[in-house]
Amino acid sequence: MRFCGVRVASRVGLLLLLSFLPQSTRASVPVAPALGPEVMIGEASDGYVGRLTVFPEHGPAGTLATVSGEGLPAEQEFQLVWRTVDGAWKVTASEYHGREYRAVAFEIAKVKTDQSGRLSAQFVVPEDFGFMHDIVLQQEARLVTQTGFSIDMAVEISPKSGPVGTPIAVEVRGIGWRPLVNSWDLLYDNRFTGWISSVTMHGSARFTIPATGGPGVHILEVLHGELTFPYRNMQQSPEPDRPRWAIPFTVTAGAPVLPPSAEQQAQKNLQVPPRQDELVVTPQFSGAGDPAVVHADGLAPGTSYQLNWARVVGNRMTGAGWQEASAVVAESRADDYGRAQFRFIVPDDLGGEHGLWIDTGSARKTGTYWITPTALPLDVSRGPVGTTFTVHLKGVGWTETANIYNLVYDNNAIGYACAFNSQGDIEIPIKATGALGWHFIDLYPGIYRGVETRPNNFRIPQLTYAQDHPGERLPAFHFAFEVTPTEPHAALSEWLRRLVRPSGGRAGRGGRVVGRWREAGGITVASLGAKRSRYRRSNGLTICGFSPKLGALSRNRALTSPIAVSTDHPDPQTSSRPTDRGRLSPPMRLARVKPTVPNRLPGPCGLQRQ
């Protein structure tokens, strides 16, 4: 038997006879090493007898607590009992109906009063749901007296620093199960990241997020949020003493820690393997597009059979709803022993359970296959701000607990995507944003909808999906995108570097103009002093001359003022790129321009066409 992650020994091994010490005696008191077996929940009869206290009255899991009693029947044996609950998700094959908690009690120790009716015992507070728990003294089914101990919540992160992308392990203990203490949210730099649950984990939660943002200190906050999002003015709420945390993490310089490839993130096991009936499938589960083999026996020798694949088609958003359908995925002829093998490629279909069946004429032989969600690599993994890239998932499910994935960009939840209507296929176009460098995209499972109203955790990332997701066990997916300098600027900067040679020096390879260049805001600005210079224009890229003295530039006029680069079309996929010889192709031509404000660059180049 296990409770709160602790393996419970035999009942005999857990019996603890405590010393008959008066309350004032300071001698050592035996300590119960762990909670014992589950016991019946006692009920009060004819009122309470005696008095029970505990010290301290609150603390985190692992606190050494001392229970003292007085005014009790002398020289009698009692059970010292810890009361708590067991949590479970209420789900059907396709629907979510909330969560439920069942009251349970576990023996702390056997205790016996002394001649004056006193007792004392010590025990280690278990890792359990947070906040108030009853500590009960009972004889069989009779509750004699009781006291209370409140488990304090605790939040820790590890490590406390590291380069961008570092996995930050967040551990929360002592989450409550009652309203107002049972739903907690994580914020990263004031951005909502997701929801922390512990329904089936007895108040404990552990999950990992990537370190995001530039070098420096970033703040992780844990706040209560019963109605989807964090409740910010906790001090003015009906429960003003609920805790809150703000924990710093320092992003340091260094190579980024990038997530594994999409292939390596494929789900390796299921919580409950699909049932095996007359049809035996190898493997029992996989992603869409993988090969599979079905073995069948007891067939008529020499007879051909068709293997059928069952599926659900439709959606929840229209009146048409959904219906079950099937299609043939393989055919085979039984051998002389009545055995057949059916080889097929797993269809590009909804995730979850799919029925398999063969019609033998008089009956059906059936089996089951399970499609797990998988991810494809990003179609584009680097580019300037505004670059469009796509997250593409296959085999996403259709039940209320499996048909959405929640999108998080740099620890900021930005929406969800549904797979039902697209038969398990999800494509999410995303615009790259943020500073130069690496940005992290995470997709977490969640709960699409249900009848539950408090708490309301629908359509937001469930950060604790790996240990506590209702229904199916589902994977999360993680990607990284590198934001680079705007490509047209980078291309022309390289062209200008090759065009300009240092003043007083010899022109190097490709150098045609005497002058100097420098970087300004990601744009190469060059001061030119020679007459022979080339200007090129391609796909909206323009080299602009800027001088309060020159209203227009000609191809052969000497330049003594800076030039800059502007772009009309910043999409790198439609912009020219340097060739291996350092030139842009196709050729460009200079537009006639005039300055709008002398010696300033207020617009793309600070210039207007004449």
Dist. CA 537–CA 588, nearest whole Å: 3
The mean pLDDT value for 33-44 works out to 84
The mean pLDDT value for 493-521 works out to 43
Kindly state the helix (H) or strand (E) to which residue 467 belongs, with its residue range. Answer: helix 465-468
Dist. CA 565–CA 541, nearest whole Å: 8
Asked if residue 470 lies in contact with residue 449, where contact means CB atoms within 8 angstroms, the answer is no
Residues 141, 13, single domain; the answer is yes
- Residue 56: cis peptide before it, omega within 30 degrees of 0: yes
Dist. CA 578–CA 583, nearest whole Å: 5
Which pLDDT score is estimated for 533? 35
DSSP 354-401: EEEEEE-SSSEEEEEEEEPPEEPPPS--EESTT-EEEEEEES---STT
The answer for residues whose C-beta is within 8 angstroms of residue 168's C-beta and 6 or more apart is: 157, 158, 159, 162, 208, 209, 210, 211, 220, 249
Residues 547, 603, single domain; the answer is yes
pLDDT digit string, tens, across residues 232-258: 888 888 888 899 999 999 999 999 999
Domain count along the chain: 4
Please report whether residue 191 resides in a domain: no
Please report whether residue 208 resides in a domain: no
Residue 173, amino acid: R
pLDDT digit string, tens, across residues 538-548: 333 334 443 33
Dist. CA 247–CA 224, nearest whole Å: 15
- Residue corresponding to tokens 């551990």: 171
pLDDT band (50, 70, 90) for residue 273:
confident
Residues 549, 409, single domain; the answer is no
Does the pLDDT value for residue 13 go beyond 60?
no
Please report whether residue 98 resides in a domain: yes
Q: Which structural domain, as residue segments, surrounds residue 71?
A: 2-151
Residues 7, 132, single domain; the answer is yes
Does the pLDDT value for residue 302 go beyond 60?
yes
Does the pLDDT value for residue 279 go beyond 80?
yes
Does the pLDDT value for residue 54 go beyond 60?
yes
- Residue corresponding to tokens 């594994």: 260
Does the pLDDT value for residue 523 go beyond 80?
no
Does the pLDDT value for residue 529 go beyond 70?
no
The mean pLDDT value for 574-599 works out to 35
Asked if residue 230 lies in contact with residue 224, where contact means CB atoms within 8 angstroms, the answer is yes
Dist. CA 111–CA 120, nearest whole Å: 8
Residues 21, 117, single domain; the answer is yes
Residues 313, 327, single domain; the answer is yes
Dist. CA 529–CA 562, nearest whole Å: 10
Tokens of 340: 């057949």
pLDDT band (50, 70, 90) for residue 486:
confident
pLDDT digit string, tens, across residues 361-400: 889 999 999 999 999 999 999 999 999 999 999 999 999 9
Does the pLDDT value for residue 292 go beyond 70?
yes
Please report whether residue 286 resides in a domain: yes
Residues 478, 494, single domain; the answer is no
Which pLDDT score is estimated for 65? 96
φ/ψ of residue 488, rounded to 5: -60, -40
The mean pLDDT value for 322-332 works out to 93
Dist. CA 440–CA 164, nearest whole Å: 9
pLDDT band (50, 70, 90) for residue 272:
confident
pLDDT digit string, tens, across residues 411-464: 999 999 999 999 999 999 999 999 999 999 999 999 999 989 889 999 999 999
Residue 199, burial from CB neighbour count under 10 angstroms (0-12, 13-18, 19+): buried
- Residues for the chain: how many in total? 610
Tokens of 215: 């070098």
- Residue corresponding to tokens 């035999």: 10
Does the pLDDT value for residue 340 go beyond 60?
yes
Please report whether residue 230 resides in a domain: no
The answer for residues whose C-beta is within 8 angstroms of residue 135's C-beta and 6 or more apart is: 52, 54, 67, 80, 81, 82, 83, 108, 146, 147, 148, 149
Instruction: Tell me which of 458, 483, 508 is where a domain ends.
Output: 483
Q: What is the pTM of this model?
A: 0.75
Which pLDDT score is estimated for 271? 75
Dist. CA 471–CA 93, nearest whole Å: 8
Which pLDDT score is estimated for 36? 87
Residues 318, 425, single domain; the answer is no
- How many C-beta atoms surround the C-beta of residue 339 within 10 A? 14
Instruction: Tell me which of 151, 185, 206 is where a domain ends.
Output: 151
The mean pLDDT value for 7-32 works out to 35
Which pLDDT score is estimated for 219? 98
Q: For the chain, what is the mean pLDDT?
A: 80
Residues 288, 424, single domain; the answer is no
Residues 438, 474, single domain; the answer is yes
pLDDT band (50, 70, 90) for residue 276:
confident
CATH number at residue 139: 2.60.40
Asked if residue 401 lies in contact with residue 469, where contact means CB atoms within 8 angstroms, the answer is yes
- How many C-beta atoms surround the C-beta of residue 429 within 10 A? 10
Kindly state the helix (H) or strand (E) to which residue 330 belongs, with its residue range. Answer: strand 322-333
Residues 402, 328, single domain; the answer is no
Does the pLDDT value for residue 573 go beyond 90?
no
Which pLDDT score is estimated for 530? 35
φ/ψ of residue 11, rounded to 5: -60, -40
Does the pLDDT value for residue 44 go beyond 90?
no
pLDDT digit string, tens, across residues 161-198: 999 999 999 999 999 999 999 999 999 999 999 999 99
Q: What angle do CA 128, 271, 35 make, to 5 degrees?
A: 25
Residues 19, 126, single domain; the answer is yes
pLDDT digit string, tens, across residues 198-223: 999 999 999 999 999 999 999 999 99
Dist. CA 357–CA 345, nearest whole Å: 16
Between 359 and 577, whose confidence is greater?
359
DSSP 174-196: ----STTSS-EEEEETTEEEEEE
Q: For 553-600, where are the E strands, in sequence order?
A: 562-567, 593-595
Instruction: Tell me which of 332, 350, 371 is where a domain ends.
Output: 371
pLDDT band (50, 70, 90) for residue 564:
very low
Please report whether residue 268 resides in a domain: no
Dist. CA 524–CA 97, nearest whole Å: 60
Which pLDDT score is estimated for 239? 85
